[in-house]
Amino acid sequence: MSHRTVLSFALLAVLVGGIQGCTTIQAGSSNTLPSSAFFAVDATELKSLQAIAHAQDSRMKNCHKGPACEDAYYTRGLVALFENRADAITVFQELHTAMPNSRYEAATTGWLNLLQDMAPSSKHHQALMVQLKQEVLHNLLERSDLTALRTVNDHDRRVAELK
């Protein structure tokens, strides 16, 4: 994930979390169940995200620490935002605990704060959440497309070498 993308995620998460923290609305019960998705998506997008999740799960099982492992955990946490809020919290917490000095630390902390905040949403907050959702979804799907393209190109190159 590019430094710019990480910075975008971190800034958006901190911005949304900061706006929520600055509101004068009292915290109340949330209508969102912990097992529900933080962001809703249609079935087509969900299918693509599940493929990304499967790939990240495999990467997470085979890594210990380092940039590749950080990427796998962070990406898996982002995908979990579209699947299950509690799972997203768990993955981000694992990244925060296992790799506290990762390059995703600021973004991870922002996501954890945002996911655990139960304050009601203002219209401004809801607009920011739509923007944040689109940014995360776009980056995940774009990265998935680039990975698929690299896989096809690698395959084509190997076939050409065999000829």
Q: What is the pLDDT of residue 148?
A: 54
Structure tokens at 9: 């995620």
Best CA proximity match to 76, nearest among 102, 57, 98: 57
pLDDT of the residue at 23: 35
In the chain the first and final C-alpha atoms are separated, in Å, by 34
Nearest to residue 40, comparing CAs of 89, 82, 77, 79? 82
Question: For position 102, what pLDDT does the model report?
Answer: 92
Encode the chain (163 residues) as per-residue pLDDT tens digits: 555 554 455 445 544 444 444 433 333 334 445 568 888 888 888 898 999 999 999 999 988 888 999 999 999 999 999 999 999 999 999 999 999 999 999 999 989 988 887 666 766 677 777 778 888 888 888 877 655 555 545 545 554 555 5
Residues 6+ apart with CB under 8 A from 1: 71, 74, 75, 139, 143
What does the pLDDT read at residue 16? 46
pLDDT for the residue 53: 93
